[in-house]
Chains A and B, each alone.
Chain A
């Protein structure tokens, strides 16, 4: 069964600190892995997309890594800001269909305290 599991479910950190969010998946055949940020009451916004051949990608203070062999990804946030408080969703796409079926994790709820 294709699944995406994220950990931790929730995380509280102090402003300025770093953190790392985890994503494990069983989706096969793999096409790409995406990280989205979803602010409360808003739609998800794409942070990064990585294909099979990419093992790291950065977007400002966000750095995603991918290990396609172990089917694991992480999202590292550097020097956190209050505006980083949001849900971070890991999404994996398969290449077994024309649509590119997406499998969503439940997200990690990050809270940054001043």
Chain B
């Protein structure tokens, strides 16, 4: 089993609130990723990091921001949540070898009212 954890698992919150989704991994992986997934649709990369102090935007434009101050921690923040942010957010990590799998957390299902 992969050691990557996301909290909270579920979050229902009102419009305009600031939200932080937590993601931590204990595998010492340099690379970490955030994906957004809607029901029946493919995963879309919204942020990634090569290591500490490295953050990049992914393919899907997102109003969220990320930080990577520690290797094991990669939180995602929404400054002002809107109903359009309702989705599932999946965090993943991987080692340096591109032929090794990404390990995923179980996701945060976010609902903005």
Contacts and interface: CB of A to CB of B under 8 A. Distances in A.
- Mostly helix, strand, loop or mixed at chain B's interface? loop
Contact of B106 (A4, A41, A102): A41
Contacts of A14: none
A60 interface: no
Interface in A31-82: 31-32, 34, 36, 41-46, 49, 51
Contact of B43 (A31, A93, A104): A104
A49 B42 contact: no
Given A41-B106, A99-B48, A51 B99 contact: yes
Nearest to A32: B99
A4 B41 CA distance: 12
Interface size class of B (residues with CB under 8 A): 20 to 34
A59 B21 CA distance: 33
A100 B48 CA distance: 12
A45 B104 contact: yes
A17 interface: no
A71 B53 CA distance: 37
A45 B90 CA distance: 12
Interface string B96-113: 001111111111010000
Contact of B45 (A31, A51, A102): A102
Contact of A100 (B4, B98, B103, B105): B98
A43 B104 contact: yes
Contacts of B103: 46
A107 B43 CA distance: 10
A43 B105 contact: yes
A31 B98 contact: yes
Interface in B30-51: 31, 40-45, 48, 50
Interface of A: 4, 31-32, 34, 36, 41-46, 49, 51, 89, 93, 95, 98-100, 102, 104-107, 109
Interface of B: 2, 4, 6, 31, 40-45, 48, 50, 90, 92, 98-107, 109
Report, nearest first, the 9 A-B pairs whose CB atoms are least far apart.
A43-B104, A46-B101, A100-B98, A104-B42, A104-B43, A106-B42, A43-B106, A42-B106, A44-B104
